[in-house]
Amino acid sequence: MLLCRNMAIVMLLLVLKAEAGDNRGSLGADWAHAAQTMNEFHIHLNDYFPMADARLVASAIVFPELIRFHALRDRLETAALKTLYVQYGKQYANFSIGYFQMKPSFAEELEKAWMTSFPGTSIVFDTLQYAKNRLKRVERLSDPRDQILYLYCFYTLMQDRLQGYPNLNLEHKVRLMATAYNRGFSQSLLELEQHCRKPSFHTAIWPNSETPRYCYANIALEYFQQQNKALNNQP
């Protein structure tokens, strides 16, 4: 049974295409602003991702969120947060925070998974449900350097999950990790495969039927391919 399941996963991975499309052209200025911001983060990414391949994958995972952050920044810092608070009360704190658009619920789940999988490391989270812990979590989410720490934990946990699957090249990892970041990293690999090509990502506060939608994994992969070519001096 396990062999058949692994074979099915391998077949799904083999049929993935490398082409990511032209999201860069479609997203225009928001893409350019996001790329500039990511370049500014590289010095901090180096602290957690000293290897070039890992740094490329990690930056690609969150790159679509930088696009969304820049597209919505002015609106998020004024009326949107107030409206969300009025509508949803204290649950507004689960709204996406910072450049990488992380939610407290994401950070909470990530912290618990980290402490379960890597309890002996120097990175320690207090996951008990106290107000002071929730305050610390929100403060971390508001600091770009701590968001990179969370990104490192996410990347490490996903690397650990994907070790058991053969034939995963860097582009496949980008697709799966980006989808897990966007959809939920607790989903199975088969569930991630089902979502990794769906155009559900957008940059609107209140989307409607006319809102342009993109595939999150495609954006991440296109950015990865662009940066990988630049790193290797390819045309």
* Domain residue spans of the chain: 25-90+144-231
| DSSP annotation string for 51-65 | SHHHHHHHHHHHHHH
Q: How many whole angstroms separate alpha carbon 36 and alpha carbon 24?
A: 13
Q: How many whole angstroms separate alpha carbon 75 and alpha carbon 203?
A: 11
Q: Pinpoint the alpha helices (H) of 122-169.
A: 131-141, 144-162
Q: What is the pLDDT of residue 83?
A: 52
The pairing of strands 214-215 and 199-201 is: antiparallel
Q: How many whole angstroms separate alpha carbon 64 and alpha carbon 122?
A: 30
Answer yes or no: are the C-beta atoms of 223 and 60 closer than 8 Å: yes
Q: What is the pLDDT of residue 8?
A: 43
Compute the C-alpha angle 121/183/80, nearest 5°: 100
Closest CA to 148 of 43, 7, 32: 43
Answer yes or no: are the C-beta atoms of 230 and 33 closer than 8 Å: no
232 secondary structure, DSSP code? T
pTM equals 0.82
Q: What is the pLDDT of residue 20?
A: 54
pLDDT tens per residue across all 235 residues of the chain: 444 444 444 444 433 443 456 776 677 788 899 999 999 998 899 999 999 999 999 999 999 999 988 877 655 544 454 455 334 433 544 677 789 988 888 988 999 999 999 998 999 999 987 878 888 888 888 899 999 999 999 999 999 999 878 788 899 999 999 999 999 888 888 899 888 888 888 888 777 888 888 999 999 999 999 998 888 776 6
